């Protein structure tokens, strides 16, 4: 029996160490990619526009927000306002769709994990991987909009690489934690939906951070998505590099959620199996 097989066997029968958990998930990386590709394309298979809906819905939302806030509130940004809004909406769409679907993924796929053993941590990670396809499409549209509105692109776009990595890590840590909690508390699904209803307005998607009232600014900064949205805006539009504090907060959220996720999936894996 190989070392990897031994790790998987131990993980399925007792508490595992973080190293064993990571090794088991790493061995399933091809499975994650396969399931993610299937998840993304099956999602739009029966629709007329297919995967274009991955960009269509955020584009519609961004258009409505752009019209309302540019004409009513008259917001000025370092780039064209539609580009500013759609950049934030691309991040927000990945953030919400990944966490919403990923937080219930273990329960939703309990029939699969009861028949075939693989680390339950794989299931929420599939959602984080699947939604990268939609994020990639939306980033390409952001590029096209920036060029079309005459804003252009420069070397700042390289910041999209660490920004995307931080976004994926944050969402992965969140869904790993929430999906395990959802096994215990089935209300998690509705709590997440309720939180996202108001959280959009506390994320600098359509309003720059400095335009929020000072009383709300600390609340917006505490939002784990704020730093990442600001990084994406900076990558596309440049401007003042005032995102450092917010990015540190996003990083702190990521680390805290990752620690919680590792603890739950290492020490409570058998309990999760019994509750499914």
Nearest to 226 by CA among 217, 239, 213: 217
pLDDT at 164 > cutoff 90: yes
Token look-up 């998930």 returns 25
Hey, how many other C-beta atoms are within 10 angstroms of the C-beta on 135?
22
Looking at 103-187, list the stretches that DSSP marks H as alpha helix, in order from N- to C-terminal side: 105-108, 110-115, 122-148, 160-184
pLDDT at 171 > cutoff 50: yes
CA 270 to centroid of chain Cα atoms? 27
pLDDT for the residue 51: 62
Per residue in 245-263, pLDDT (tens digit) is: 999 999 999 999 999 999 8
54: enclosing H helix or E strand: helix 53-68
User: What is the residue extent of each domain of the chain?
Assistant: 17-275
pLDDT band of residue 153 (cuts 50, 70, 90) is confident
pLDDT for the residue 173: 97
pLDDT for the residue 244: 86
pLDDT at 90 > cutoff 50: yes
Rounded mean pLDDT of 109-119?
A: 73
pLDDT band of residue 48 (cuts 50, 70, 90) is low
Token look-up 């909406």 returns 89
Residue pair 215/239 in contact by the 8 Å Cβ criterion:
no
In the 8-state DSSP scheme, what is residue 224? T
- Provide the percentage of residues in the chain whose pLDDT is more than 70: 79
Hey, how many other C-beta atoms are within 10 angstroms of the C-beta on 165?
10
Residue pair 178/259 in contact by the 8 Å Cβ criterion:
no
pLDDT for the residue 4: 46
pLDDT for the residue 73: 62
pTM recorded for the entire structure: 0.85
User: Which of 16-30, 68-82, 198-212 is predicted least confidently?
Assistant: 68-82
Rounded mean pLDDT of 63-90?
A: 76
Which carries the bigger pLDDT value, residue 15 or residue 7?
15
pLDDT for the residue 271: 59
């Amino acid at each position: 029996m190989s070392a990897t097989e031994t790790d998987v066997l131990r993980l399925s029968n007792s508490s595992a160490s973080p190293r064993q958990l990571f090794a088991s998930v790493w061995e399933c990386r091809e499975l994650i990619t396969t399931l993610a590709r299937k998840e993304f394309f099956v999602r739009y298979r029966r629709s007329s526009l297919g995967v274009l809906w991955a960009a269509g819905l955020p584009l519609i939302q961004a258009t409505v927000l752009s019209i309302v806030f540019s004409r009513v509130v008259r917001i000025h940004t370092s780039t064209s306002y539609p580009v500013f809004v759609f950049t934030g909406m691309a991040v927000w769409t990945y953030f919400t769709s990944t966490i919403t679907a990923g937080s219930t993924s273990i329960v939703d796929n309990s029939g699969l994990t009861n028949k075939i053993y693989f680390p339950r941590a794989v299931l929420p990670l599939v959602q984080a991987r699947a939604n990268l396809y939609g994020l990639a499409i939306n980033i390409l549209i952001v590029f096209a909009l920036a060029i079309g509105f005459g804003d252009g692109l420069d070397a700042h776009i390289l910041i999209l690489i660490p920004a995307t990595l931080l976004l994926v890590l944050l969402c992965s840590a969140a869904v790993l934690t929430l999906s395990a909690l959802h096994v215990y508390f089935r209300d998690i699904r509705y709590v997440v939906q309720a939180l996202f209803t108001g959280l959009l307005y506390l994320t600098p998607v359509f309003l720059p951070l400095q335009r929020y009232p000072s009383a709300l600014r600390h609340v917006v900064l505490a939002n784990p998505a704020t730093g990442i949205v600001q990084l994406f805006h900076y990558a596309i539009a440049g401007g003042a590099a005032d995102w450092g504090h917010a990015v540190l907060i996003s990083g702190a959220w990521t680390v805290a959620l990752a620690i919680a996720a590792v603890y739950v999936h290492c020490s409570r894996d058998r309990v999760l199996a019994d509750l499914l």
